[in-house]
Structure 1
């Protein structure tokens, strides 16, 4: 941040009123925040304001606990020292603090996106280890407006233009942790005033003024748009209106799924073609997106262009022998659209290794729990494949009447080339018990699929 910007920000903070404890408590109450929370704390002015407010909120609640986590991405020489400064500030405020380091090689391109993904992964893991249910982040009114502009520039639809929700789950997997944004409707100047009143000096990240990054360009564009009436408040209100529209569309989508779709515990789905065709295009696309994400083991659906092409083929009766999209196969039979995992994609899924008492997710679709097995053995979960299915047939196992491709994409429990069992098909060794369940149901998202903030 240059001297002129710093002067302007200081002047703005003097004019703005600090955020009161009552205002913050009201926002935390509306988000139904739990008693054990954490703050994603960079040491910057926004997250410092959040930490100050959260520490006062915790002191006013019996049994409440607060933690602060700082992610050191290691992308700049000064990052380690900045993380230590953040730790010192947290200690000064009286909040337990941990530094989380992003280790390993860093990508040469798309660094901001990679850093964001790494940051949330580290924060999610830290919250789970500490038994924390809610993670607070300091996104504010201008952040929301910048996000709206960035999504608009990318040609986003309703989901993207709904921008950042005040609450979402960080992951579809248990134990779940919520990401909460209690400051989302508050302007940056009021957060700066909160810090100024506390007489603390925040850490200033020079990358926040680096115009190579799109978010910095959007921030500067806001100042140019304000005279036209497109200020941060107006853009954030538009994002809120889009969020309400998204909620209505999601309700319609869930209603169609509930009435006309069936979900198999074997990880595939079916939906009546006539119901899909009769639905408004936006609802039909969302149903397709939900089913493709479910059967493909993905948190998010494929790009809109691919979904639109498949949807058009369904409406025009040109799906033919089927199509593939997002690692799944879509095919019509007797007026029913079946959405199932591509065998080749399932076979490429990373193996899950389990010992007795361990659990994990395989292929993004199934959660497996090895409840009983010899203690000295480690087993591999990978696709059943043609070889596993042949083995089961040789054992004269009772197999369900369905396409072999669906069975090929199911998980098998292996030791080397030996199939030990296939949990869906109720086969296992005499001393082995493996439980399997769907990771999640279609249409139940961990957050806004367009969200990248």
Structure 2
């Protein structure tokens, strides 16, 4: 069987096994172009939707995106181009983001790319995103995670299927089954994908930035490429993939154990963005979820990822900080334990009322971006976990008012005088809740009223309490709704590995 027929059959088998129908293929380089061809032949072009995200970093990227669009049209696949705009002035407005330093360029670009993908999935009801990740990408990922000290779990590499968790703030306000990312070409080397493109007369573009040695992944790509013809080298693709296969066997077993312990020992609270883990097994000593080092690491990783909502797993060094705090707490029970923070998450030692509490780390000023100039009747996602909406029950001010959403810390600085009368509410709340929970998880809703002379913004709800001071607002009737954005349990249960 030639490589093209092999790829088409392989993709068809995977999609049938995963029971996927509507899908979106990301197109651009030879890997994605070969993917688009294989998928269109496996399930039919009418079931495919191709997307090119133009990062705008290279002058020729716009022309290349149009070339991809013409090829997709030839294959009978609907295609869309979305361009990312970057503002060099340091501001961030709408779809425009300030250009990050080169050290974070790949990370920020990836976050924005997947936000665009999530928006397209939501708009068209697409349930599966297919990417062209191949065997070489898997080998690079293995080495990259080895250098980051990711441990066995990270070195198992990319999974065949993972959830698409990225979403723009106003997307996916009501979700059913979230989209998944599927990587059907992980078993194919880049040379095989080149062959598919050549035999089918498919043009592709080589991204010049893939040779930029400033990026660690590109350095590893060049190393693997130099050793690809040496079968004895531990750095050729086949050697690295064998290591991935070994790690994946360990990962599969660990996933089963992690899922079992999270079901019995963890309480996920979406409304507050916190997770409580059992502090004891009913006797003395370490709780059951923490007795095995490998399982403990993954339980902590899932909890941290669920809370900080970042697009990448936490580093092993951060997980070790939590693990050391755990060991110290049980080894020296007479010593007062302090909270520990890492990866944007704070772990607070157990109390008489609860177990280990994990919550978002107290934010720096402005860390949680505000939502401003929102139309009444609209909804937004706050802190990636709450859906907040505001509207008038009456019509007195509806034509001259908008609403805003700020973190508690930002609101206290902006309207110190108007909120100061409610400091007693804050103090009472802090007696019932952890300080970090109050600082991070409680949004402040504000109404902006424009009259003939000026526009003023007033906080109207904080810490779950309506604030006083504007009689006409009360008369108009402000309807503020806050509800939890559904999450699908822990990362261990979400990911099919």
Please tell me the TM-score bracket, short chain as reference. Answer: 0.7 to 0.9
CA distance in 1 between counterparts of 2:109 and 2:226 reads 24
Aligned to 2:181: 179
Residues 168 and 446 in structure 1, CA contact (< 8 A), matched pair in contact too = no
| Aligned counterpart for 1:92 among listed residues 53, 74, 79 | 74
Residues 127 and 133 in structure 1, CA contact (< 8 A), matched pair in contact too = yes
Does residue 246 (structure 1) correspond to residue 277 (structure 2)? The answer is no
Does residue 407 (structure 1) correspond to residue 438 (structure 2)? The answer is yes
Residues 141 and 236 in structure 1, CA contact (< 8 A), matched pair in contact too = yes
* Pair 1:98–1:382, CA change in 2 (3 A): same
* Pair 1:16–1:141, CA change in 2 (3 A): farther
Q: Deviations over 1:326-366 (max 9, x none)?
A: 44433222373222344445974112344444222222343
Report the TM-score, using the length of structure 2 for normalisation.
0.74
Does residue 53 (structure 1) correspond to residue 51 (structure 2)? The answer is no
Aligned to 1:378: 402
Does residue 107 (structure 1) correspond to residue 100 (structure 2)? The answer is yes
Structure 1, gaps ≥5 residues long: 1-14
* Pair 1:446–1:136, CA change in 2 (3 A): farther
Aligned to 1:351: 370
Residues 139 and 184 in structure 1, CA contact (< 8 A), matched pair in contact too = yes
Aligned residues: 430
Q: Residue 319 of structure 1: CA displacement?
A: 6.4
* Pair 1:210–1:420, CA change in 2 (3 A): closer
Aligned to 2:491: 444
Q: Residue 81 of structure 1: CA displacement?
A: 2.0
Aligned to 1:263: 268
Aligned to 1:30: 17
Aligned to 1:363: 383
Q: Residue 41 of structure 1: CA displacement?
A: 0.9
Q: Deviations over 1:410-436 (max 9, x none)?
A: 223223774423585699964313122
Q: Residue 441 of structure 1: CA displacement?
A: 6.4
Q: Residue 161 of structure 1: CA displacement?
A: 0.8
* Pair 1:391–1:443, CA change in 2 (3 A): farther
Aligned to 1:155: 149
User: Aligned to 1:104, what secondary structure does the other structure show?
Assistant: strand
Residues 12 and 43 in structure 2, CA contact (< 8 A), matched pair in contact too = no
User: Aligned to 1:316, what secondary structure does the other structure show?
Assistant: helix
- The CA RMSD over aligned residues, in Å, is 3.7
Q: Residue 311 of structure 1: CA displacement?
A: 1.8
User: Aligned to 2:36, what secondary structure does the other structure show?
Assistant: helix
Aligned to 1:338: 357
Aligned to 1:433: 480
Aligned to 1:320: 337
Q: Residue 392 of structure 1: CA displacement?
A: 5.4
Residues 16 and 189 in structure 1, CA contact (< 8 A), matched pair in contact too = no
Of the structure 1 ranges 107-116 and 79-88, higher mean CA displacement relative to structure 2 is found in 107-116
Aligned to 1:12: none
Of the structure 1 ranges 90-99 and 198-207, higher mean CA displacement relative to structure 2 is found in 198-207
Report the TM-score, using the length of structure 1 for normalisation.
0.80
* Pair 1:309–1:201, CA change in 2 (3 A): closer
* Pair 1:319–1:286, CA change in 2 (3 A): farther
